[in-house]
A and B are shown apart, each in its own frame.
Chain A
Amino acid sequence: MARVKYRYPGESRWKGWWYVLPALTVYLLFTFLPILETIRTSFYQWDGFSQQKTWIGFANYLEIFSDPKFHNALRNNLVFVIFYSIIPILIGLFLASLLSRRPIPGFAFFRTALFLPQVISMVVVGVVWRWMFNPTSGPINIALNWLGLGRFAISWLGDFTWALPAVGSIGTWVQYGFCMILFLAGMQRIQEEYYEAASLDGANALNQFLHITVPSLRSEIAVALVTTIIAALRVFDLVYTTTRGGPGESTMVTGFLIYRSAFMLNRIGYAAALATVLTLIILIISLLIRRYQRHGVEEDA
């Protein structure tokens, strides 16, 4: 990005800050300060309401790294990355290339309909899908039974093997529309001549997709990766409204552990430390993806 240096002569260089001030004030008060406060709290043992706050240094962090519940939750978060991020991006790429290459009647309808899950509140999504997965009255098992596939009609959210993929697939349903819209926008930038030239050279649709579409969408894929991975790592609402971490601990995620530690077990310090660790993990992954993206841009140039 080029630096904008235009300024009227004699005008104060600080003038711009005044325009930023309202947003900056809100940001500092409601985002930055709470983050600092969270980090500070993570070094204390505190129940959240009494005057008694004990400084315990890194004890909370040491406990996190030896806590099998956290290891299990983080593992589940990584499985969520597959469902929240990888699969939606693949589906999004596929749908976007279907919708973008040739005019389809009702294009606007499909685009809106496929994007719809993204705009529904996650709590509503959770409640609706809990009903969808209901073993006796839910549409999924009714459909399976009707198709004669009754032996696959299991108790989705209560099954130790299938609960995690079932909750994860709700995430897929929510995220793929966002990926698709992102890629559709990006594809409008790709010049049609590339495809023409490629087909003259004998490249089939798959090769065109792999060697023209995907590389051109590098920055959109990076954006999709960052946002969806963040969503996968901090998932809470979906688990809270569907399984509450069960059965056993098979859908337990870090976000739910934080909630439980803070509000059910009165361990604000430990919850703050968990939140800090989760934020660090998210930051590191985001930075790695940004580097991949920059790297690609340089290669292209």
Chain B
Amino acid sequence: MKKRSILLSVILVLLILLSSCSKLGKPAEQAENGAEEQVLLVWDQFYREEESKVIETLNAEFEAAHPGVRIQREVKVLDDLRTTVKLALSKEDGPDVAQVNQGRNDMGALVEAGLLLPLNGYLEKYNWGSVFSTSVASRNSFTNDGKTFGTGSLYGVSPTAEVVGVFYNKTLFKKHKWDVPTTFEDFEALLAEIKADGVTPISFGTLDGWNAIHEYSAIQHLLVSLDYINNLTYGVNNVSFDTPENRQAAQILQDWANAGYFSDGFPGIGYDDSNNLFKAGNGAMTITGSWLAPELLVGTDQEFGFFLLPPYEGKSGLAIGGVGIPFAIRSTSEKQELAAEYLNWMISPRAAELWAGAGMLPAMALPENTKVKTDNLFGDTLTAWNTINQANAVGHYIDWATPTFYDTLVAELQKLLGGISTPAGLTEAVEADYAAFLESRSK
């Protein structure tokens, strides 16, 4: 009797362990009915409601156009995606298609480990060269060893585009009779004028850190050349970060902070909080990426517009911009043809139309007969994107430059804005990080 109960309890424990193992072990495929049903497992990070609707629509249309194919979608927020996708892509039952963040720590590391499929064959097959430019392609390109960024094979295609510029509150601008500036000098004069009128010129908060990089680099982009920013980001031609231009940009940013142009208490305000302040009419402008536009189109009685940070006299006037997080294919996937077809679907004219309808900039050109409204904030961001594209003035997110650049830049910018460091202190500290990276690579 006793023995039996012991035996039973042991069996029970083993059963529980086994059942949980088998649940984990089996991929959730249920291809019983159609016998030939193919399941495409896709991970994306379009979790916001408007974005998610676009993906759901595209997925449903893809399934309708491909009988026997079912898309199993898994949505994650970016942080969650970044921490789990690398391990998932190394598994046999991992996602066939996944969004992979650009830059060395993510796409670069995955390419180095041989986990992503080079897409050059499909680039020709689908004629993607007519969909996006080589400058866009290089942002999703690495050499096959994952060491050199910006050249080599294509590893992803991006459905959306981004440009960092100035959102402004048209309602407030009208009320106070402020004009949209066309030169950097005008812009700085406008900041002073807005401040004098008792309004916060720029809604801004550095508690989350990363948006300080955009704030700084947006000014930096007005002062440097496209070659410099390309060299810096792709880690070629041994440029330095400790340059007069980078120092000047830091000086301008610090001056703005000292002049009180940012939200009161900005070091203790998070990114979303500062956007909410701006949306509620507390602050005349905010400098961030075009991805904010959909949120500013609904749920507010203020009217908003967007312009590029105006060029510094005699300089080329670059803007931070680029394409959104790309879709990539797992190199060990057995459904590569279907996966490539899916990628092509995500950058189709139809996708462009849907993204534009949601207020997001598509990376692809809109069809000529588009019905999307462009006489609003979305139209402003589209104009800005087209402007820098045509002028070949699309810059970079500089935090891609080295694996630790993001952390170093955030820490140094917070020190600069907190007044415990100097512009020279910033450029020297960041250059130390950059030089160490270049050296580690040359070994």
Q: Which A residues have a C-beta under 8 Å from some C-beta of B?
A: 18, 21-22, 25, 47-52, 130, 133-137, 141, 154-160, 243-249, 260, 263-266
Listed by A's residue number, 11 A-B pairs whose Cβ atoms lie within 8 Å are: A25-B17, A50-B114, A50-B115, A135-B265, A155-B266, A155-B268, A246-B209, A246-B411, A265-B105, A265-B404, A266-B403
How far is B268's CA from A130's CA once the two chains are assembled, in angstroms? 9
Quote the shortest CB–CB distance from B332 to chain A (angstroms).
12
Q: Which of A47, A247, A248, A264 has the most CB of B within 10 A?
A: A247
> Nearest Cβ in chain A — how far from B144, in angstroms?
14
Our pick among B17, B403, B420 for the contact of A265 (Cβ within 8 Å) is B403
Closest to B416 in A: A248
Q: Is the CB of B265 within 8 A of A158?
A: yes
Query: B181: CB under 8 A from chain A?
Result: no
In the bound complex, do residue A49 and residue B115 qualify as a contact, i.e. CB atoms below 8 Å apart?
yes
Closest A residue to B282 by CB, please name it. Answer: A136
Verify if B195 is at the interface (C-beta below 8 Å from A).
no
A47 to B264, CA, bound (A): 41
Task: Give B205's nearest chain A residue, CB to CB.
Answer: A158
Instruction: Name the B residues within 8 Å of A135 (CB-CB).
Output: 264-266, 268-269
User: What residues on B are CB-neighbors of A134 within 8 Å?
Assistant: 265, 268-269, 273
Residue B86 CB within 8 A of the other chain? yes
In this complex, how many residues of chain B approach chain A with their Cβ under 8 Å: the count is 43
CB within 8 Å of A: which residues of B? Answer: 6, 9-10, 13, 17, 82-83, 86-87, 89-90, 105, 109-110, 112-115, 206-209, 263-270, 273, 277, 403-404, 406-407, 410-412, 414-415, 418, 420
B-side contacts of A243, CB under 8 Å: 207
Interface pair B115/A157, CB less than 8 Å apart: no
Sorted nearest first, the 6 A-B pairs with minimum C-beta distance are A158-B267, A135-B265, A50-B113, A155-B268, A158-B268, A155-B265
Chain A residue contacts of B411, Cβ below 8 A:
245-246, 248-249
Check if B268 sits within 8 Å of A160, measured CB to CB.
Answer: no
Which B residues are CB-close (under 8 A) to A246?
206-207, 209, 410-411, 414
- In contact, B208 and A244 (Cβ under 8 angstroms): yes
Least CB separation from A162: chain B residue? B268
CB of A266 within 8 A of CB of B207, answer no
Q: What's the least CB distance linking A249 to chain B, in Å?
A: 5
With the chains together, A155 CA to B112 CA distance in Å? 43
Distance between Cα atoms of A264 and B78 in the complex (Å)? 12
Residue contact A247 to B404, C-beta cutoff 8 Å:
no
- For residue A48, which residues in chain B have a CB less than 8 angstroms away from its CB? 86-87
- Flag if B109 contacts A266 (CB, 8 Å): yes
Closest to A249 in B: B411
